[in-house]
Each structure stands twice: as structure tokens, then as C-alpha cells.
Amino acid sequence: MKSWTVAAEIVRGSAITMRHFFVNMAFHTLRLFGIKTRRQGAVTIQYPEVRKELSSRHRSLHRLRPRADGRSSCVSCMLCVTVCPSECITVEAAEDPDPEIQKAPVRFEVDLGRCCFCGFCVEACPVDAIRMDTGEIRLASASRVALKTRLDKT
């Protein structure tokens, strides 16, 4: 009895792989000859050429939200620097030419080699200046120095 179940499962296993093979092969062949099908032969996303859509909540490379005149809206309050658990944000503050605004950064640097993409800086910012919604996820670099990203200069 048991050996019959084993034999049946062996046949069933190869039936499953064979079904996958022939179904996928059929879709591959149809698409090769330019016939559009709703389903593809494979679930693979050909990465550098084809991108998967990122979630709207996805935390990617940081950016500073600009004001209407183009300058960044950061007021150098240092809240993000304080809250950052990785201590990867460096802000150098300076006087802002606009008397209405207290300070502006002359250097806003994020060390991507240290950043853990927790998003606390975004949460902490009182003026909603820093955001992580650029959708840029290819952040690799050949050197550590190059990972230190200036956000005030793009």
C-alpha cells in the first residue's frame, strides 16, 4: 500500500513539473512570435531594464524638499541629527539671508554607509523638509567616501 502511494506521488511530482514546463513553454513560444498574452512564461522581472513599482511607503534615498524659490526648506534645527540612531546625518547650519527664517544648512550630508533607512529623520522634521521618496534604490558605491551624500547640492 505504502509503495503504491510513493509511486503515485513520484508520477504526480513529475506531472507537476511537466505541466509547468509545457505551459510556460507555450507562453514563451507565443510571445516569441509576437503574440501578446495576458500571462507571461516566467515571473522573472528583468531587473535593470524592467523595474518593479515601489510601494508608496518605500523608504529610498533621502531628499530635501525645496521651497518655492528653489532653496531647501531645511531650517537646520538639528532634530534629525539628534533622532538618527545611526548618527549618519551631518548638518552645518548658517544664517539664512531671509530674515523670516532663522537658519539654513550650508552642508547637509547623509552617510549612506551608516544609514539604516529607518525614516526617523522624516518623522522628526518639524518643517517636513527631509523626505525619503526619491525612489532611488541603487545606492551602491565603490568607496566609503562616495557614500557620503550631499543633500543640499544635487
Question: Which positions lie near other proteins, rule CB under 8 A?
Answer: 10, 13-14, 16-18, 20-21, 24-25, 28, 41-44, 46
**Which residues on adjacent β-strands are paired with residue 91?**
108
Nearest distance, CB of residue 30 and other proteins, angstroms: 14
In whole angstroms, what is the distance from residue 27 CA to residue 40 CA?
Answer: 6
Query: Smallest distance, Å, CB 52 to other proteins?
Result: 15
For other proteins, give the closer residue by CB, 19 or 153.
19
3-state secondary structure of 93: strand
- How does strand 103-111 pair with strand 148-150? antiparallel
Backbone phi, psi, residue 113, to 5°: -70, -25
Least separation in angstroms between CB 53 and other proteins: 20
Distance of closest approach, residue 4 Cβ to other proteins, in angstroms: 13
Rounded to whole angstroms, the Cα distance separating 125 from 71 reads: 17
- Residue closer to other proteins (CB basis): 11 or 137: 11
Closer residue to other proteins, CB minimum distance, 33 or 57: 33
- Residue with smaller CB distance to other proteins, 6 or 127: 6
Comparing CA positions, the residue from 137, 136, 84, 140 lying closest to residue 109 is 84
